[in-house]
């Protein structure tokens, strides 16, 4: 008579845990394999017929290159960075710094944050439709650059606001208190101390927002239209960009256009990868300078692995005052 008979047998438990291990690795492989296949597929399709002149010849009805489409995408990204970057960062500053309890702004903070969250979950095609009916047709701007920039900006502003707010909230209270103790005015310390130490997080958010913006297709189809060459005006004439080329040329009868679609896909992937990698570099550079990472990480092969579960508790809110990053 055994007193241990209540639980499952050892063999069953061993089989269960081994199965579990195998399944987790299998899941990882099932995710990584398509991801790798996707990247290699896009690169190999484009590389087999790649010619560098795609980058500087304009598009013609029968073929040519993608010069104006690449420039168009870059212009879109730059304008979205200016418009959505300004609005998003300022909105993030408001949500993090100026929502004090007991004031109107504090009372409104919750609803405003919710509105921003809702907007970030809005389907892009719905925003595209709104842009088409309200801006393109309603205001008579026609398919052109300006409605496209506005709609793309509306799409990414909530995202930028969120990342800005989060990185501002991570600035240690000690920095603010130190700045106040040194007699800085609130605005000056916001600009010189708080924003400066939150800058890497804000820049990361901006780069990721740009990655979203340059890969969008659905809202652009009905706001920017498409053309072979860059127009000279903000409104009234259609605007070229890369994602349209991928979306439309891939089932065109002409082989030249297929090639252009693959080329455009490759260029898009390269742009997005550059943005993601640079955001990662920004993050890792700041982690090297931050306090908690400094005590645990020594590069990739360091003696101390930066295991989050073993990392020391986050520093108390009143940290060392003199430790402001000098950048």
Of residues 161 through 220, those in contact with another protein by CB under 8 A are: 161, 163, 166, 185-188, 190-191, 201, 204-205, 207-208, 211-212, 214-218
Cα(204)–Cα(164) distance, integer angstroms: 9
Say which residue the tokens 């009143």 belong to.
Answer: 318
Residues 297 and 107: their CA atoms lie apart, in Å, by 41
Residue 6 three-state SS: coil
SS3 state of residue 60? strand
By CB under 8 A, residue 74 contacts another protein: no
Give yes or no for residue 125 binding another protein (CB under 8 A). Answer: yes
Q: How far is the CB of 52 from another protein (least distance, A)?
A: 21
Q: Does 253 bind another protein (CB under 8 A)?
A: no
Residue closer to another protein, measured from CB, 172 or 201: 201
Q: How far is the CB of 76 from another protein (least distance, A)?
A: 13
What's the distance, CA 268 to chain centroid?
A: 14
With CB under 8 A as the contact rule, which of the stretches 57-65, 131-139, 175-183, 231-239 interacts with another protein?
131-139
Residues 38-57, mask of contacts with another protein (x by CB under 8 A): xx-xx--x------------
* CB neighbourhood size of 320 (10 A): 12
Q: State which of positions 272-301 bind another protein (CB under 8 A).
A: 272-273, 275-276, 279-280, 283, 300-301
Q: How many CA atoms lie within 13 A of 25 on its CB side?
A: 5
Q: For the purposes of burial, counting CB atoms within 10 Å of the CB of 141, is it exposed (0-12), middle (13-18) or buried (19 or more)?
A: buried
- Binding residues for another protein, total number by CB under 8 A: 111
Task: Provide the minimum distance between the beta carbon of 129 and another protein in the complex, in angstroms, as a whole number.
Answer: 5
With CB under 8 A as the contact rule, the residue among 1, 5, 25, 61 that binds another protein is 25
Residue closest to 200 by CA, chosen among 326, 278, 286: 286
The verdict on 9 binding another protein (CB under 8 A) reads: no
* Backbone angles phi and psi of 64, in degrees to 5: 80, -150
63 DSSP β-pair partners: 60
Q: How far is the CB of 178 from another protein (least distance, A)?
A: 17
Instruction: Work out whether 234 is an interface residue with another protein (CB under 8 A).
Output: no
Using the rule CB under 8 A, is 270 a contact of another protein? no
């Amino acid at each position: 008579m055994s007193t241990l008979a209540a639980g499952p047998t050892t063999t069953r438990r061993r089989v269960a845990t081994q199965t579990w291990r195998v399944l987790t690795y299998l899941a990882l492989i099932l995710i990584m394999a398509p991801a790798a296949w996707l990247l290699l597929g896009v690169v190999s399709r484009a590389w087999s017929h790649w010619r560098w002149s795609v980058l500087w010849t304009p598009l013609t009805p029968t073929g040519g290159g993608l010069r104006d489409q690449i420039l168009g995408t870059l212009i879109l990204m730059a304008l979205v960075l200016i418009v959505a970057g300004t609005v998003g960062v300022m909105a993030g500053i408001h949500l993090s710094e100026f929502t004090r309890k007991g004031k109107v702004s504090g009372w409104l903070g919750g609803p405003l944050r919710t509105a921003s969250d809702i907007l970030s979950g809005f389907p892009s095609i719905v925003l595209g439709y709104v842009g088409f009916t309200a801006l393109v047709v309603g205001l008579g701007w026609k398919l052109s650059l300006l409605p496209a920039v506005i709609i793309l900006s509306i799409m990414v502003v909530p995202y930028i606001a969120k990342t800005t707010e989060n990185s501002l909230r991570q600035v240690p209270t000690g920095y603010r208190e130190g700045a106040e103790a040194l007699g800085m005015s609130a605005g000056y310390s916001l600009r010189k101390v708080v924003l400066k130490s939150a800058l890497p997080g804000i820049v990361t958010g901006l780069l990721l927002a740009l990655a979203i913006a340059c890969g969008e297709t659905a809202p652009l189809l009905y706001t920017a239209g498409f053309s072979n060459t860059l127009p000279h005006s903000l409104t009234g004439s259609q605007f070229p960009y890369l994602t349209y080329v991928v979306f439309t040329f891939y089932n065109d009868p002409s082989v030249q256009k297929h090639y252009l679609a693959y080329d455009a896909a490759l260029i898009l992937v390269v742009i997005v990868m550059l943005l993601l990698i640079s955001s990662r570099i920004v993050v890792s550079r700041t982690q090297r300078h931050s306090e908690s990472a400094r005590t645990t990480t020594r590069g990739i092969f360091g003696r101390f692995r930066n295991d989050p579960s073993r990392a020391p508790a986050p520093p108390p809110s009143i940290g060392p005052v003199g430790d402001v990053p000098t950048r």
